Amino acid sequence: MCGIAGVMNHDPSRPVDPEVLLAMAAIQSHRGPDGCGMKVMDDRGVGFGHARLAIIDLNPERGRQPFLSADRQVMIAHNGEFYDYQRIRADLTSRGYRFQTKSDTELLIHLSDRFGLEGAMPHLRGDFAFAMYERSSDRMTLVRDRFGVKPLFWTMTPEGLVFGSEIKVLFAHPAVQRRISSEGLYHQLMQLMVPGTTAFEGIHAVLPGQMVIVDRRDGRLHVRTQMYWDLNFPRLEERETLEDEYYIEELRRYFINAIQLKLEADVPVACYLSGGIDSCSILGIAAACRQAPIKTFTIGFDDQDYDETAIAREMAEAVGADQDVISIRGGQLYEQFARTIWHTERSIYNTFTISKLLLSEHVHKAGFRVVLTGEGSDELFAGYPQLRLDMIRHGMKDATPEERADLEAWLQASNRIFQGNLLAANPIDDPALADVVGFTPSSLQSWLTAAASVPPLLHPDHRAKTQNYSPGSAVAATLDRAQLEGRHALDKAQYVWIKTQFESQVLGWAGDRVDMANSMEARPPFLDHHLAEFAVTLPPLMRFRNRRDKYVLREAMRGVLPETLYNRQKFAFMAPPAHTDRLKQAAMLNLANEYLSESAIASAGLLDAQAVAQILQQHSDSNTSNSDRTRLDAIINHLLSVQMMHQQFVAADLPKLGRDRARELGWKAEPVLVSV
């Protein structure tokens, strides 16, 4: 687990500045505090930098990246883990390939030598992002894992390609412009991102399952993209329904195998533990795989509607885990807001991502670097209420209108605290999304509802530039029609969520970004792609049946789950909104006084000061309903976020910040010069 950085110049004779590579590596030292490495091909205008977090092969020299092939033709910088590497390593060794290290990264060199890079991809099992430069073809390829667990960004400057694990890494390069775009700002204020985009002008995200291929011809770099994997739900006519026991047994087998692989590390592995069946199932199996008690870490809130520690304690006691509970007080979250934005690099609507940052900090201080997490289960097994709502509204063709109405009323009532947040108060229809999907997915409706409040909040210049902008159309244009046509409504709902909010929100600002802020590698077993490829074959009723979400997982894990948890409906992990806590609301308003003052708004040039003042006034009005306050809490969080983003990423001198950080660490620009 690490941070990677690099450049490829248009002109191969243009030298790579080692000091720039150093600044790019140092500014992400939180991702890799264990050392810095860099290699430069000066005759090709290519350079890689790397900040290392040692998880596999702890030898500081042997595991140092970037990696070179023995013939010095291929150079790699890798972030993340390739699982099942021991079996693959043994197979390659038996075929005559010689390994110089114990690092899983070296697999990529030998697999691509044997199969070519595209042919190697099916063999790579894990959470990763990497860059590979091939001298023979003068080609750079940026690759991101299948679900987007690990981040990777790129941009093109007048000098050439710049890439890195985080946006701030690109901004540490002096040739990269730092400007929030009008469309990016629009989306920051409504939470829903367009896949592949960021808040910043010209800064792109490599999509999950995508290869960004950069070829140099006639002194210029040419970019093309290629998907190497997608979540391929079967078409309706291809679906078959087998006995329940088949799906339960197969899921159990895939799940146990995924956990066994993700327990492999040269350092201790712990578990995040909430009150949900996802993390509890992981702990139950992980505890069975280990001789010693598993260490678990749980977040506790002082609001009973959101606190899950009682169930988490029951699970920890059931398997003999060593549990550590970190209690979060209301105002504490807003004290860490600006620090969190530095790591998320995008707006947040709820402070649970801040609680995750505090949790990962606590885990790091406890001496752990690797944790197993439950992300992906809700996506694969329809755990979220938004997904179940689409199943009720669009996927239950045999149900009567009365039966659907009864189920929807039950779902809305049992998820009332998420009204105005995860669930839209009123259904809406976006024509562009309905055209591609067949309906407007419920998972996007609350954010599309929020879009109506965005234009008045924009500075007049940005408002003018987005006058005819349709966020729904922008998102719809990125969706693959071929993966949606002819699919069940629940499959469509899950696919859209996975391609939008799951990647940018759940795995991004609530996952990797706040875990790696504290040098913590989070491993989600549910996102093992072998398990996922089985999960898409599950009939809809194996995911949601008899008012039970994640039906097949509950049945597969019934032996390890406490009865209370087995019978409990899924609830999203959220922090209490600001209005539910007097201290938290006061802390939020203190930040508003600093970041949303007239002078601060005028300096950034992003927002309309009068409209912001009206939002703050409405939030404090005693006549405002709780559901409206929940919605306003999210809007204010977005407003604070974009102001902080301007201060941290646009107004600040990030190239200097990177250089200063390198000096603090004692890192020096001492690249290995690669020649043939």
The CB density around residue 439, as the number of other CB atoms within 10 Å, is 17
Mean pLDDT of residues grouped by 10 in the chain (676 residues)? 93 96 97 92 95 65 78 94 92 92 89 96 96 97 98 98 98 98 97 96 98 96 98 95 97 97 90 91 94 90 71 88 86 91 95 92 94 96 93 91 88 68 80 98 92 95 97 98 97 97 92 95 96 97 92 95 77 63 85 97 98 93 81 92 98 98 93 82
pLDDT at 140: 98
d(CA 486, CA 614): 46
Task: Look up residue 425 and give its two tokens.
Answer: 């108060």
- Helix %, strand %, coil % of the chain (to 5): 45, 15, 35
What is the SS3 assignment for 318? Answer: helix
d(CA 354, CA 330): 11
pLDDT at 418: 61
pLDDT at 50: 95
CA 11 to chain centre: 34
* CA atoms within a 13 Å half-sphere pointing along the CA-CB vector of 200: 23
Angle between helices 85-94 and 106-115 (to 10 degrees): 50
Asked whether 28 and 667 are in contact (CB, 8 A), the reply is no
d(CA 285, CA 193): 35
* H-type alpha helices, 429-501: 431-437, 442-451, 454-457, 460-465, 471-476, 489-497
Nearest to 502 by CA among 124, 229, 186, 195: 195
pLDDT at 101: 85
Task: Look up residue 674 and give its two tokens.
Answer: 């690669």
| 9 sits in which H/E element | strand 2-9
- The DSSP code sequence of 90-120 is HHHHHTT---SSS-TTHHHHHHHHHH-HHHH
Angle between helices 609-620 and 626-645 (to 10 degrees): 140
d(CA 30, CA 165): 12
pLDDT at 627: 75
Nearest to 137 by CA among 79, 222, 208: 222
